Amino acid sequence: MLRSTVLILAVSFALGACSKAGDANKPPATTEAAMPVAPAPETARENPFAAASTLPFQAPAFDKITDADYQPAIEEGIKLHAAEIRKIADNPEAATFENTIEAMERSGAMLNRVSRVFFSVAQANNNPTLQRIQADVAPLLANHSDEIFLDPKLFARVKAIHDARETLNFDPQQLRLVEHDYEQFVRAGAELSDADKASLRELNVEEANLSTDFSEKLRAATKEGALIVDDKAKLAGFSDADVAAAAAAATERTMDAKFVVSLQNTTNQPALASLSDRDVRAQLLKNSELRASRGDGNDTRALVQRLAQLRAQQAKLLGFPNYATYALGNQMAQTPEAAMKLLTDTVPAATAKARGEAAKMQKLIDKQKGGFKLAASDWDFYAEQVRKAEFDLDEAAIRPYFELDRVLNDGVFFAANQLYGLTFKERKDLPVYHPDVRVFDVFDKDGSPLALFYADFFKRDSKAGGAWMDVFVEQDGHTGNKPVVFNVCNFTKPAEGQPALLSFDDVTTMFHEFGHALHGFFSNVKYPSIAGTAVPRDFVEFPSQFNEHWASDPKVFANYAKHYQTGEPMSQAMVDKIRKASTFNQGYGTTEYLASALVDLAWHTLPADAPMKDADVFEAEALKRFKIDMDQVPPRYRTPYFAHIWGGGYSAGYYAYFWSEVLDHDAFEWFKENGGMTAANGQIFRDKVLSIGNSQDLKAAYKNFRGKDPVVGPLLENRGLK
């Protein structure tokens, strides 16, 4: 996914309500202010964020940045940005594109610099100091956003330009930016009465505080929810490498002589596929499902109930019947009804396939005289056995062919070279925020520098769960700034001296997040507000999900799927088994996803006057209403730890993955129809999809690429549901 902090989204006009690929909106790329401002005080000039970094690509100077630098820089950045905005609003000259729209676009340089780094590090390498700063600055940034978007003088200038836009001879990108900015103001409440603006301000500050609180509680709950065992025998089924990793995780927590199986952010846990002790499996799943609903200080249930309620109240103030209607108004789906129809139309096929999968596993349990009914915690363990029986495919036998460095260099980077001509060179001279982080120069097909790429692959307690992409520096066609992009994942870190071996799901995740990175690398737009991944949520996952296809492309797969010890390529027989098994367990995977996406829409279609309801009860009722309540297939994310929608910018937008999946499979059909992985096809996709940001109407842009509107058939076929 694309992850950007919910808080920084609103601090500038590149932000507004536009969203990123995994989280929120985004500020403009690092630039200097469009007009002179008073000199910053001496302390601000000494702060590493007071001026643009002198490192290549303006990469963050992590060797100079300390935790103590963040809050002063954010506060000074707010002050400087407010002064710039005030000068724009108070300009006695008539409003023009240059003195209003473009001036706003170039404002907020310092705030943008520090926000991009601070919120990125706070997600990937948090600590108590950063948590405190997040709590302190959340209301400051929410208030700063409201000061801008609810300023009547500033809105009057934007509106004047917008209303006359058809007569001002704007080029297409200027026109798109004017319409974008006007929409952001209106959606932020610029047309409300003073009384309603005051009410909205209060709700916005409360939401910012609650979202920050949610993220902090969830990080702590996930850490505390890890499975801790003191008997190695309880890890029966684990490989030696898995046991060593669990021991290393315990040592990191100063829990010698114990073993720690950390939780990932989803309900289902990878370890469930190999743990042979049924009681241990049940305990691990219980830890996962109850992580944020134990009635302790990390319980998020009351918090999310209030978040849903106040979002509904925000929507009502803005003239919408519910938050989902508001949130989807500028997305490709446009209405929650359209999003819900795509999901609910797929429920019958998905649940039928899942029930068929469960029946096969129950038959196996009975054959083994297990004497129990398949439970959710048993699913992966027996699914793995069914897969071995039906496809003669063993996950443990596959992993040695997916060593992380080889997947990255000979898979992910290789595919980008074959399609787009990119080359990569690792560099060791740039400072990073954690020793695990790696940095690469990205060169375009003509050899010219294109971007910097940071990769942070391994799980740690200080990192939020999941995987995401974001940028430290956004592409900016006006200043010439090139993008500084990063990917973050949560792969299990091997014990010292051991290789990092991935599952094929992990491999797919790496390709997915790099698809977001490509979207950032190739941005070729003048204005950061509409550049790169600043596109609707239900489009932003299209490039990333599309890039997953190359993980299994025969040419790419053969290049990276080699045994880490011998270098031998995976046998054709095993490759054929993987291909045959590609739709295996898709009933489960589709059902768990649909359940979460529908729960998200259920929460965000509540009207403002709906009474608060217990989160567990509400979720259960929603699943039953949508006919997707399967005990053996819990939602991918349960409400109390659904980070996407409560702290990650995907509120009322988790459906976007499925909507984008329609596009990605349809687009891959175009590639197959036109010769597959060729440089010519890659250039067309780059020019018509990856480079345009949000500078064009994206429905029209997709049709321009594909030659017709997308159809859902390829998605259903790919998931084995057709």
Q: Which residues are catalytic?
A: 513
Give the whole-angstrom CA distance, residue 19 versus residue 651.
Answer: 11
**How far is the CA of 283 from the CAs of 220, 287, 294, 410, in angstroms?**
19, 6, 14, 38
Give the whole-angstrom CA distance, residue 429 versus residue 599.
Answer: 46
Question: What is the DSSP pairing of strand 484-491 with strand 449-458?
Answer: parallel
Give the whole-angstrom CA distance, residue 533 versus residue 516.
Answer: 8
The alpha carbon of 471 is separated from its chain's Cα centroid by a whole number of angstroms, namely 12
Question: Is residue 214 classed exposed, middle or buried when 0-12, 13-18 and 19+ CB atoms within 10 A define those classes?
Answer: buried
The alpha carbon of 136 is separated from its chain's Cα centroid by a whole number of angstroms, namely 24
DSSP-assigned letter for residue 273: G
Residue found under tokens 């702590």: 220
Give all strands of the β-sheet with 423-427 in edge-to-edge order: 423-427, 438-443, 449-458, 484-491, 468-473
**How far is the CA of 498 from the CAs of 171, 232, 406, 718, in angstroms?**
56, 19, 14, 35
CB 577 within 8 A of CB 391: yes
Long-range contacts of 499-502 (CB under 8 A, 24+ apart): 499/241, 499/403, 499/404, 499/564, 500/403, 500/404, 500/405, 500/457, 500/458, 501/241, 501/399, 501/400, 501/402, 501/403, 501/404, 501/564, 502/399, 502/402, 502/403, 502/404, 502/407
Alpha-helical runs (H) found in 561-655: 572-580, 586-604, 615-625, 643-646
Phi, psi dihedral angles at 469 (to 5 degrees):
-130, 150
Phi, psi dihedral angles at 683 (to 5 degrees):
-65, -40
**Closest by Cα among 562, 565, 437 to 498:** 565
Contacts of 721 (CB under 8 A, 6+ apart): 346, 349, 350, 353, 586, 587, 590
CB 549 within 8 A of CB 388: no
Q: What pairs with residue 442 in β-bridges?
A: 424, 451
* Amino acid at site 400: P
**Closest by Cα among 445, 519, 449, 440 to 482:** 449
Radius of gyration of the CA atoms of the chain, in A = 25
Six token digits for residue 24:
């929120």
**Closest by Cα among 615, 618, 627, 717 to 672:** 717
CB 515 within 8 A of CB 487: no
CB 502 within 8 A of CB 454: no
DSSP-assigned letter for residue 47: S
**How far is the CA of 298 from the CAs of 217, 218, 291, 310, in angstroms?**
5, 7, 8, 21
What angle in degrees, to the nearest 10, is found between the helix axes of 128-149 and 194-224?
Answer: 160
Give the whole-angstrom CA distance, residue 33 versus residue 105.
Answer: 9
Task: Assign 291 to helix, strand or coil.
Answer: coil
Question: Is residue 620 classed exposed, middle or buried when 0-12, 13-18 and 19+ CB atoms within 10 A define those classes?
Answer: middle
Give the whole-angstrom CA distance, residue 289 versus residue 263.
Answer: 10
